Amino acid sequence: MSEQQPLSQPLQTEEPLLNDQEMQFWLDKAVAWGQADSPDTQKDTCLHMSRLRDFLQQLLTQVNSMSSTTETMKRLPFLGQLLGRLCWNPYVTVCDTSRGLLLGCLWELYSERPSNAVEQKANQWIRKVLCQLSTEEEDTAAQALMKCTGVPAKEYHLKVLRKKVALLQENVGQSCTLFNSQRCSCDRIVAISEACIPIVACPEASSLISLLLQRPVACVTEVLSEDFLDALTSAYSRQGLALEEQALVSLWYHSFSSLEEAVLSLLQSVITTGLTPQKLEQQVAQSLLPKACAQHCSVFLVVNDIFRSALKQAEGNEFVKALVQTFTKCFLKELALLKPQTSISVKAFFPQSPSSLLVPLLTMPSEMPQGAWRNHLNWLSSSLQRLTEEEEEGDGDGRSTRGHHNVFEAWFLLVQCAHWVQVAVQLLVTSGTEDGDPFLWLLIFYHYPTNRWHHRASQLARAKEAWNHIRTLFSGAAHPLPSDRLQSLVTLVSPQPEQQSLAPSLTVSLLVNVAVFCQLSPSGSAEVLQAVVDQSGLLDEAACVLSSLELRLNEGSCLSRDTVHLRIKELQKTITQMHSE
């Protein structure tokens, strides 16, 4: 902008500044300037430019003082025709101040919430004019100007674009000043965002787009144009738009469709590619979604609803469960990085989770002594059992819907905090003769949350049977491997025609943890693991559990000896060799 500031400080007046004769004079001039492209016309335009700027300043002030576009069009019926002709005249728009005043008039005419057909039609016309001001393609007058000045077309359009972007940026920063006699200045933000639609993919507009997205909300009436947000989402999904990290986070905050597309894309990628735990965590962190969720509770709630829906449709999909757990872990890390004054209570992020389970499950194993793990898990297991018992009791007295909801939300939280499930497996295999039933029950609940056809009890019995077979296979005295135990274990995890088989992921988790933490030699453990996964066809599942266990131990969730890491490496070597055969 030049030395004048027409948009930020319009003159205040209570009397009309314009009369019909003055309006007609400038309309006649605009018509004459547009009908001829001669040196005389150009000279006349230049001679009148100073007076035109004064007139446009008065016009902007009067338009700004009116309560609505409808009132403006009634009092100034030729306003649209005048502005349109001036906006199409490159000898007028080439001047920063004149162009700024014209844009200011357009912004004041734009109705954020059009109340009638006149305002709707005005909005459509304004969008068309703004597109013209942003592109000026195939404009014969602009072509004549470029020819006269000797400026190449590409350079001309680039300079015009940069000037317009700079002008728009200057006005984005203006704060909301709402007077009784004026419309909220935040309405301009809607018009500015509309003006950006044709140029969202232009690198020159990236700073303006970032400024719009990250502009603090000044009042309840301020919004960004839905068309603008849709254009950004479309351009970004086509990789035709580069956004800075914080601008992308702000886009997700403003646009549900953009956020949903990002989450579903991540979900689809995880399901189809089957990433290792390490690569999964890397991809989730690089998606920036956990950071967006930590900064905006509303974003986290939307993402959580998408994950919740995905799990309801596929509760047994281990890839989806792994994504939910990994995402929650990355989210909690980002939340911890926020300054205390900018963060909100963690309970606000989990409004549907049982309050008694929230903090115990969100607490990381590394945040308490190892000696407290057993009591902590026993309490979690008994608390979840009480919830399921209440659900079963509710089936008979009409409270089943509420009971099912509570159990599902408890299970959903357990999936998000599955580090405690992994610790339960570790304690089960390292506890010796101590009672492991609470841990086994927790594993069964994790894999069978809905208890369809009341299979949880039968699955618990199968899990105990599988656990006994695994312990026997890994006992030092059982050598060579007892074929009957091996075959029984394989049968338990294989699909059965008339009954539900034990979840392979549960059996493999027990198998791998025993192989890592048992007293059998590394070569002996590798032999047992190889025999079971070879006959059961669970090679990929075993590799995934090993990688997940290694990642957890390396993060400090469990204090482990060097020998444990060596055993993991030995078992991974065995798995790799089996893959290559």
Q: Which one is predicted more confidently, 19 or 104?
A: 104
Rounded to whole angstroms, the Cα distance separating 115 from 126 reads 16
| pLDDT of 9 over the 50 cut | no
Lowest-pLDDT range, 223-232, 299-308, 410-419, 430-439? 430-439
User: Is 253 within the bounds of a domain?
Assistant: no
Which of these ranges, 116-130, 487-501, 508-522, has the smallest mean pLDDT?
Answer: 487-501
Residue 262: φ, ψ to 5°: -65, -45
Mean pLDDT along residues 220-224: 62
339-392 pLDDT tens trace = 776 668 889 999 999 999 999 999 999 899 989 999 999 999 999 999 988 877
Report if residue 299 sits inside a domain: yes
Q: What is the mean pLDDT of residues 97-118?
A: 85
Task: For residue 187, name the pLDDT band (cuts at 50, 70, 90).
Answer: low
Confidence of residue 135 (pLDDT cuts 50, 70, 90): low
pLDDT at 183 over 70: no
What are 11-41's pLDDT values in tens digits? 344 444 577 888 899 999 999 988 777 777 8
Cα–Cα distance, 176 to 184 (Å, whole number): 7
From the list 251, 212, 216, the residue with the least C-alpha distance to 230 is 251
pLDDT confidence of residue 500:
65
As a whole number, mean pLDDT of residues 559-578 equals: 83
129: DSSP letter: H
Number of domains in the chain: 4
Q: Are residues 376 and 305 in the same domain?
A: no
pLDDT tens-digit series, residues 248-273: 999 999 999 999 999 999 999 998 88
- Please, are residues 184 and 223 in contact by the beta-carbon 8 Å criterion? no
| Same-domain pairing of 468 and 539 | yes
- Between 76-80, 146-150, 482-486, the lowest mean confidence (pLDDT) is in 146-150
Question: Average pLDDT for residues 490-512, to the nearest whole number?
Answer: 76
| Cα-Cα-Cα-Cα dihedral sign, residues 367, 370, 376, 377 | positive
Q: Is residue 526 part of a domain?
A: yes
pLDDT tens by residue, 281-330: 999 999 999 999 999 999 999 999 999 999 998 877 889 999 999 999 99
Both 499 and 400 in one domain: the answer is no
- The answer to whether position 252 is within a domain reads no
Cβ(58)–Cβ(7) below 8 Å: no
> Within this chain, do residues 322 and 434 fall inside the same structural domain, yes or no?
no
8 A C-beta contact, residue 188 and residue 171: yes
CATH number of the domain within which 522 lies: 1.25.40
Q: What pLDDT score was predicted for residue 174?
A: 62
Whether the CB-CB separation of 539 and 581 falls below 8 Å is answered with no
Give yes or no for residue 432 having a pLDDT over 80. no
Shared domain check, 132 and 56: yes
pLDDT at position 178, please?
A: 46
> Is the model more confident about 382 or about 221?
382
- Note whether 69 and 113 are within 8 A (CB): no
- 504 and 443 belong to one structural domain: no
Token pair, residue 507, equals 């059996």
185: in domain: yes
Position 200 in a domain: yes
For residue 179, pLDDT over 50 is answered with no
Q: Which of 447, 470, 487 is the last residue of a domain?
A: 447
pLDDT digits (tens, 9 = 90+) for 57-76: 999 988 888 888 898 888 88
pLDDT score recorded for residue 5: 37
383 with 337, same domain? Answer: no
Query: Is residue 175 scored above 80 in pLDDT?
Result: no
Q: How far is CA 401 from CA 141, 197, 213, 357, 397, in A?
A: 69, 47, 41, 20, 11
Q: Are residues 426 and 485 in the same domain?
A: no
Residue 499 domain boundaries: 458-581
Same domain, 399 and 491: no
Question: Are the C-beta atoms of residues 292 and 299 closer than 8 Å to each other?
Answer: yes
Q: Is residue 257 domain-resident?
A: no
pTM of this prediction? 0.73
* Co-location of 470 and 574 in the same domain: yes
Q: Within its chain, how far is the Cα of 354 from the centroid? A: 25
Is the pLDDT assigned to residue 496 strictly greater than 80? no
Residue 438 and residue 367 share a domain: yes
Q: Cα(287)–Cα(277) distance, rounded to whole angstroms?
A: 15
Identity at 480, one-letter amino acid code: P
pLDDT at position 560 = 58
**Residue 10 pLDDT:** 39
Are residues 214 and 247 in contact, defined by beta-carbon separation less than 8 angstroms?
yes
pLDDT value for 128: 77
Q: Which residue has the higher pLDDT, 149 or 215?
A: 215
8 within some domain: no
Position 145 scores a pLDDT of: 54
One domain, residues 169 and 57: yes
